[in-house]
């Protein structure tokens, strides 16, 4: 998640206010905030690992998810119009509301594509989360700018020129963060991940047998280095079953890196970065124990 719902809504206004108005603009704003309704699906993914994509930043943040969001907005508009006796035309609902909501939903996933931990943009082709890794998560600065604009709007001071100033700040924050990302990649490689301090980066280096993890400011020496052995020489007994197991797929989906540790009776798979406090989200499903086949043949969370 790159930004808060308020900023998502204002971003849709920036993009579409010059082309849409009335019902169309409202549909675009609704489409821009509704993908985050997936935060309500948490109990589904928590109870059934097969539904791990039904979580915050999951299915609704994919391209097919934007279509579902737009269809939901169009259905809602149609139901409301029928309930109020307006008898809406098919073109009025699908041609204006659906595509306006779809445009708003696309602005949402594009913005969230900028941030960690990423989104499954290309699902169902792949479950892999993707991100440009410009923001570490929700942008506090963008939230402050958005709240300031709304405050001016409520005071009656948010004229068109103020909206233009907001747009300049909005784009400026993104470009500044993108520039810092370019510098970080040039210095540390593609494993550089942003933190809430724009000058401080978390670097993950894949050395083959280990993950080397450390913090570094853009113009200083690394600090707090840790080494996590992969133990990848311990293969699963059946690789196909290993990949298909929903518990393992959920762990991989939620994790930044996964390491294996041979233990008595099985193998522990875990995400050391979340467990050791480098990242706090997602908070759950950080490890699973794969029991040896001789014992149970199962997977234990």
Q: What is the mean pLDDT of residues 71-90?
A: 79
Q: Which residue has the higher pLDDT, 179 or 80?
A: 179
**H/E segment holding residue 52:** none
- d(CA 22, CA 15) in angstroms, rounded, equals 15
Q: What is the pLDDT of residues 179-222, one digit of tens each?
A: 999 999 999 999 999 999 999 999 999 998 899 999 999 988 88
Mean pLDDT computed over 118-138: 93
Q: How far apart are CA 4 and CA 27, in angstroms?
A: 18
* Residue 265 in this model has a pLDDT that exceeds 90: no
Cα–Cα dist 161/139, whole Å: 24
Q: Which helix (H) or strand (E) holds 280?
A: none
Mapping DSSP onto H, E and C, the string for 202-249 reads EEEEECCCEEEEEEEECCCCCEEEEEEECCCCCCCCCHHHHHHCHHHH
Closest Cα partner for 293 from 238, 247, 246? 238
pLDDT at residue 297, as a whole number? 45
Q: What is the mean pLDDT of the chain?
A: 86
Whole-angstrom CA distances from 237 to 208, 209, 249, 268 are 22, 20, 17, 14
With a cut of 50, say whether residue 296 has pLDDT above it: no
């Amino acid at each position: 998640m790159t930004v808060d719902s308020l900023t998502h809504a204002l971003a849709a206004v920036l993009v579409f206010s010059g082309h849409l108005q009335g019902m169309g603009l409202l549909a675009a704003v609704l489409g821009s905030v509704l993908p985050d309704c997936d935060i309500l699906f948490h109990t589904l993914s928590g109870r059934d690992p097969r539904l791990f994509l039904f979580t915050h930043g999951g299915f609704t943040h994919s391209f097919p998810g934007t279509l579902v969001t737009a269809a939901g907005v169009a259905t809602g508009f149609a139901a409301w119009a029928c309930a109020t006796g307006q008898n809406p035309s098919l073109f009025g609902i699908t041609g204006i509301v659906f595509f306006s909501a779809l445009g708003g939903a696309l602005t949402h996933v594009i913005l969230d594509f900028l941030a960690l931990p990423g989104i499954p943009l290309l699902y169902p082709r792949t479950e892999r989360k993707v991100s440009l890794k410009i923001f570490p998560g929700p942008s506090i600065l963008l939230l402050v700018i958005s709240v300031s604009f709304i405050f001016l709007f409520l005071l009656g001071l948010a004229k068109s020129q103020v909206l233009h100033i907001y747009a300049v700040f909005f784009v400026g924050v993104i470009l500044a963060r993108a520039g810092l990302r370019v510098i970080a990649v040039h210095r540390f490689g593609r494993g550089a991940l942003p933190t809430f301090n724009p000058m401080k980066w978390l670097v993950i280096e894949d050395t083959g047998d280990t993950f080397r993890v450390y913090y570094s400011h853009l113009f200083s020496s690394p600090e707090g280095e840790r080494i996590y052995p992969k133990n990848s020489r311990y293969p699963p007994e059946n690789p196909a079953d290993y990949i298909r197991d929903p518990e393992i797929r959920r762990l991989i989906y939620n994790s930044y890196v996964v390491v294996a540790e041979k233990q008595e009776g099985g193998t522990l798979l875990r995400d050391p970065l979340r467990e050791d406090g480098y990242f706090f989200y997602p908070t759950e499903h950080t490890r699973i124990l794969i029991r040896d086949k001789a014992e149970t043949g199962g997977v234990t969370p």
